[in-house]
Structure 1
Amino acid sequence: MLDVPLRSGPDVRWESGPPATDAVGPPAVSGARVLPGQRAHGGPGVVACHRDSGTVTWTAVGDADGEIGATGLAVADGVAVAGLLYGRPRDVERGGVAAPDTEDGAVRWTVALGDRYATDVAVAGDLVLVGLSGTGPVADPVRAFDLEAGTERWRVALPVGVAAVAPVEGTAVVACRDGSVHALRD
């Protein structure tokens, strides 16, 4: 529920400029940090702003070539999990998942995904659910990783790449690029 008085509209409390310039999806919130994933290539994949002032407190998951973008972001237990794409969406060089600490941005773990990239990430308990896509066929486009260590826990084969993942009461709901929806449950 929106907790904003709807008279003439809310006042802008703060605004953050670069490096928080091209957010992807809704920002994640962890304590005093607001974390917008960044789609802009040439910048950091994840930016943390202070919730009260907008001051950038840390950035994480950049690379030397500046060809990185976050494709999704989820936060749980002091970890910000970001799906990553290196290259351009139509010319993916490689993809990955990274998990910076929400307090200081120190990357706890990363997982390389080869020529696939994470289209969406979600956290369900101690699991990170990752949907994958790519420029060609994608084997096993749903993966689950341990939230603390980043080790792969399982993978599921589906006929096409994934657009979005969502945990719902012990079930991973997966929307695929062909419009199909799948419910995955042990």
Structure 2
Amino acid sequence: MDRKLDAKSLRGLAHPLRVQLLGLLRSDGPATATQLAARVGESSGTTSWHLRQLAEHGFVEEDAERGNRRERWWRAVHEHTVVTTGDFGPDEQGPLASYLYEVASAHYRQSTAFLAERHQWSAEWTGAASLSDTLLSLRPDELGELTRRLHELLAEYRRPPEDGDEQVVVQFQAFPRSKP
């Protein structure tokens, strides 16, 4: 399930730590504020406060199946966040830029983590992986169509995990390039 950002939800997510916490809950499953604090190098009080902010904006919720009175577990409500940058006006450009920068930074960290640990993966996995780019000449409508079709293709591969699976990060960016 996707969550489309609007101006109000953007304000609730446009903080680097919140983007990181939501990403961890999505990729690794439910966790406590203390567990997340250890992963991100923050205090449990800080992560707890940011989790409550994410909950207030509908990104996370308490996991009632886990925990007890002393231990609150949190889980992500949605699998994906969708952003249509053209939906945001001039007043939201600061929070939008902050959010998008953090997303791009997370993509960078994931790519460099793979490069640092690629020797730990089998030749089968490293041979199937790709870090590449392609320069195309397109009109805006063609770029929109390409993006739509890529999302459709990715949706075809979504399924519950099976034996032998690994989580695979698929990142793609598609944007116009400034002329030199």
Shorter-chain TM-score: what band? under 0.3
> Going by fraction, where is helix more abundant, 1 or 2?
2
Q: Which has the higher strand share?
A: 1
Higher relative CO (Cα under 8 Å, sequence separation at least 6) belongs to 2
Which has the higher Rg, Structure 1 or Structure 2? 2
TM-score, normalised with respect to structure 2: 0.20
TM-score, with structure 1 as normaliser: 0.20
